[in-house]
């Protein structure tokens, strides 16, 4: 008599494995491009087995976002109440770097979660920021301790926004030092050349194609990329839905074209504002901050949605970003010859992370004071 094959043993931590795989796929592909089938394959199970743990993609995404926040809360709870700021930031850095591949979920939680889940998650992150802000206030009694705490955490969280390869210990040390420098930076300190930068004027929509670009981004930012339809964009510019296809194959092409247009404006601004300056890093910083405030709606949409664009549309955007970072890298290594190429890139991205989180904290209210504060914190992230 032939024995029956032994039944496969279900791992006790299968739900945890699903969450880990889900967070990674969401981070790499974006919420809408990710599929439950792809996540299930990453765990080695069928989609049907995955649905026994999570009823739909939203439920899994919400769990991934909560796990991200819970890890940070738990890491800080393990640090004594009177611990030094360096110890708090070291704990946050260890967790963030260890789960770097899954950290992109945080960038999109506010866009995709419903109001109740967003409120729950906001409370968890507020605990993290509050704990760091208390230590910042205690050790560096300067203005804006909450802004500095948010910006320091943004420097650390930036590691989830790029794929630069660097050793774990090296990147932890680099990010912790950057965050400490941000926390100790006076946001009211003036940055050289911050008031002198110029941005090219936004193109006046003179063609139907440019009208479509100008109309689509506010819709994407307000309603969400997935919700906005080609018909809604067409209506905003006075076209019938089918008329849109004469200019763009679909809304993904519209987003990609808008991002490329903005990247070109940034390139022009950098070339102009670097001419004849004595402090190129200050000029670069002021330019990037001005660009971020000027194009906050587009950047918000791009940070959440570009990762999910088809490779052919995403490739030119990635190339434009790399060219921009190469300029930063050149000038940063001139100012800090102790840095190698990988370290310089990590610090540049840390500065970008500062701008994203500090800008959000300031609700992207575009004032000279806000631009100056964010620029000062960006320079702090470079640890000059």
Question: Comparing 103 with 61, which gets the higher pLDDT?
Answer: 61
Question: Comparing 358 with 193, which gets the higher pLDDT?
Answer: 358
Contact between 320 and 260 under an 8 Å Cβ cutoff? The reply is yes
Mean pLDDT of the chain: 90
- Does 30 fall in a domain? yes
Claim to verify: residue 134 and residue 212 sit in the same structural domain = no
Closest CA to 81 of 135, 30, 123: 135
What does the alpha-carbon distance between residue 108 and residue 333 come to, in Å, rounded to a whole number?
32
Question: Comparing 58 with 8, which gets the higher pLDDT?
Answer: 58
44: left (phi > 0), else alpha (psi -120 to 50), else beta?
A: left
Q: Which helix (H) or strand (E) element contains residue 23?
A: helix 14-29
Name the domain boundary from 124, 139, 154. Answer: 139
Question: What is the rounded average pLDDT of the residues 23-30?
Answer: 88
Question: What is the rounded average pLDDT of the residues 172-186?
Answer: 97
- Does 356 fall in a domain? yes
Question: Is residue 4 pLDDT above 50, yes or no?
Answer: no
Map residue 212 onto helix, strand or coil. helix
Claim to verify: residue 107 and residue 217 sit in the same structural domain = no
Q: Hey, what are 120's tokens?
A: 């729950």
pLDDT of residue 198: 74
Residue 309, Cβ density class (10 Å: 0-12 exposed, 13-18 middle, ≥19 buried): buried
What does the alpha-carbon distance between residue 227 and residue 218 come to, in Å, rounded to a whole number?
13
Contacts of 298 (CB under 8 A, 6+ apart): 217, 221, 258, 259, 262
Q: Label residue 111 by pLDDT band (50, 70, 90).
A: confident
What does the alpha-carbon distance between residue 124 and residue 131 come to, in Å, rounded to a whole number?
11
Name the domain boundary from 120, 139, 158. Answer: 139
Claim to verify: residue 228 and residue 367 sit in the same structural domain = yes
Q: Hey, what are 52's tokens?
A: 């026994």
pLDDT of residue 354: 97
Contacts of 134 (CB under 8 A, 6+ apart): none
pLDDT of residue 199: 79
What does the alpha-carbon distance between residue 137 and residue 135 come to, in Å, rounded to a whole number?
5
Range of the domain at 329: 208-381
Name the domain boundary from 139, 156, 173. Answer: 139
Q: Label residue 9 by pLDDT band (50, 70, 90).
A: low
Q: Hey, what are 363's tokens?
A: 């609700």
Q: Label residue 6 by pLDDT band (50, 70, 90).
A: very low
Least-confidence region, from 11-20, 100-109, 213-222, 339-348 = 100-109
- Does 159 fall in a domain? no
Number of domains present in the structure of the chain: 2
Contact between 87 and 43 under an 8 Å Cβ cutoff? The reply is no
Q: Label residue 7 by pLDDT band (50, 70, 90).
A: very low
pLDDT of residue 308: 81
Q: Hey, what are 318's tokens?
A: 């990635």
List, for residues 281-290, the tens digit of each pLDDT value. 999 999 999 9
Claim to verify: residue 221 and residue 135 sit in the same structural domain = no
What does the alpha-carbon distance between residue 239 and residue 377 come to, in Å, rounded to a whole number?
44
Q: Hey, what are 64's tokens?
A: 């991934």
pLDDT of residue 106: 76
Q: Hey, what are 219's tokens?
A: 């819709």
What does the alpha-carbon distance between residue 346 and residue 29 come to, in Å, rounded to a whole number?
22
- Does 118 fall in a domain? yes
Q: Say how many residues make up the chain.
A: 384
Claim to verify: residue 93 and residue 220 sit in the same structural domain = no
What are the CA-CA distances from residue 40 to residues 100, 263, 359 (Å)? 20, 36, 36
Domain at 356, CATH number: 1.10.357.10
pLDDT of residue 10: 63
Claim to verify: residue 132 and residue 217 sit in the same structural domain = no
List, for residues 192-211, the tens digit of each pLDDT value. 555 567 777 776 777 899 99
Claim to verify: residue 257 and residue 358 sit in the same structural domain = yes
Claim to verify: residue 244 and residue 97 sit in the same structural domain = no
Question: Comparing 197 with 311, which gets the higher pLDDT?
Answer: 311
Question: Is residue 377 pLDDT above 90, yes or no?
Answer: yes
pLDDT of residue 379: 96
Closest CA to 376 of 316, 306, 286, 279: 286
What does the alpha-carbon distance between residue 327 and residue 350 come to, in Å, rounded to a whole number?
15
Q: Hey, what are 59's tokens?
A: 């439920």
pLDDT of residue 78: 96
Question: Is residue 2 pLDDT above 50, yes or no?
Answer: no
Question: What is the rounded average pLDDT of the residues 19-28?
Answer: 91
Claim to verify: residue 239 and residue 363 sit in the same structural domain = yes
- Does 166 fall in a domain? no
Least-confidence region, from 171-185, 219-233, 350-364 = 219-233
List, for residues 267-280, the tens digit of each pLDDT value. 999 999 999 899 99
What are the CA-CA distances from residue 322 to residues 29, 108, 278, 304, 345 (Å)? 19, 23, 24, 18, 10
Question: What is the rounded average pLDDT of the residues 322-345?
Answer: 96
- Does 161 fall in a domain? no
Q: What is the pTM of this model?
A: 0.90
Claim to verify: residue 224 and residue 372 sit in the same structural domain = yes
145-157 vs 341-361: helix axis angle to the nearest 10? 140
């Amino acid at each position: 008599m032939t024995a029956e094959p032994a039944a496969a043993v279900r791992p006790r931590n299968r739900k945890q494995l699903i969450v880990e795989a889900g967070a990674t796929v969401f981070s790499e592909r974006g919420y809408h491009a990710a599929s439950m089938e792809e996540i299930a394959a990453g765990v080695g199970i069928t989609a049907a087995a995955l649905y026994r743990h999570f009823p739909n993609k939203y439920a899994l995404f919400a769990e991934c976002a909560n796990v991200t926040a819970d890890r940070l809360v738990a890491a800080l709870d393990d640090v004594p109440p009177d611990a030094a700021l360096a110890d708090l930031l070291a704990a946050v850095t260890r967790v963030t770097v260890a789960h770097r591949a899954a950290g992109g979920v945080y960038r999109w939680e506010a866009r995709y979660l419903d109001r109740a889940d967003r409120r729950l998650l906001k409370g968890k992150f507020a605990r993290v920021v509050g704990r760091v802000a208390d230590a910042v206030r205690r050790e560096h009694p300067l203005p804006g301790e909450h802004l500095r705490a948010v910006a320091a955490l943004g420097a650390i969280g930036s590691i989830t926004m790029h794929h630069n390869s660097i050793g774990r210990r090296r990147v932890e040390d680099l990010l912790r030092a950057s965050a400490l420098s941000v926390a100790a930076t006076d946001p009211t300190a003036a940055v050289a050349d911050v008031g002198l930068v110029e941005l090219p004027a936004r193109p006046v929509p003179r063609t139907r194609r440019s009208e479509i670009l100008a109309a689509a981004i506010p819709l994407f930012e307000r309603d969400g990329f997935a919700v906005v339809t080609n018909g809604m964009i067409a209506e905003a510019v006075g076209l019938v839905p089918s008329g849109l296809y004469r200019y763009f194959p679909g809304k993904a092409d519209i987003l990609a074209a808008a991002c490329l247009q903005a990247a070109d404006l940034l390139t022009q601004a950098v070339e102009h504002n670097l001419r004849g300056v004595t402090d190129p890093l200050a000029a670069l910083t002021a330019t990037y901050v001005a660009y971020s405030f000027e194009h906050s709606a587009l950047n918000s949409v791009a940070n959440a949605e570009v990762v999910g664009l088809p490779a052919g549309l995403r490739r030119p955007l990635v190339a434009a970003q790399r060219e921009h970072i190469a300029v930063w890298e050149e000038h940063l290594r001139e100012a800090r010859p102790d840095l190698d190429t990988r370290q310089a890139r990590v610090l540049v991205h840390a500065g970008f992370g500062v701008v994203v989180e500090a800008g959000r904290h300031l609700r992207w209210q575009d004032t000279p004071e806000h631009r100056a504060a964010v620029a000062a914190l960006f320079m702090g992230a470079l640890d000059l």
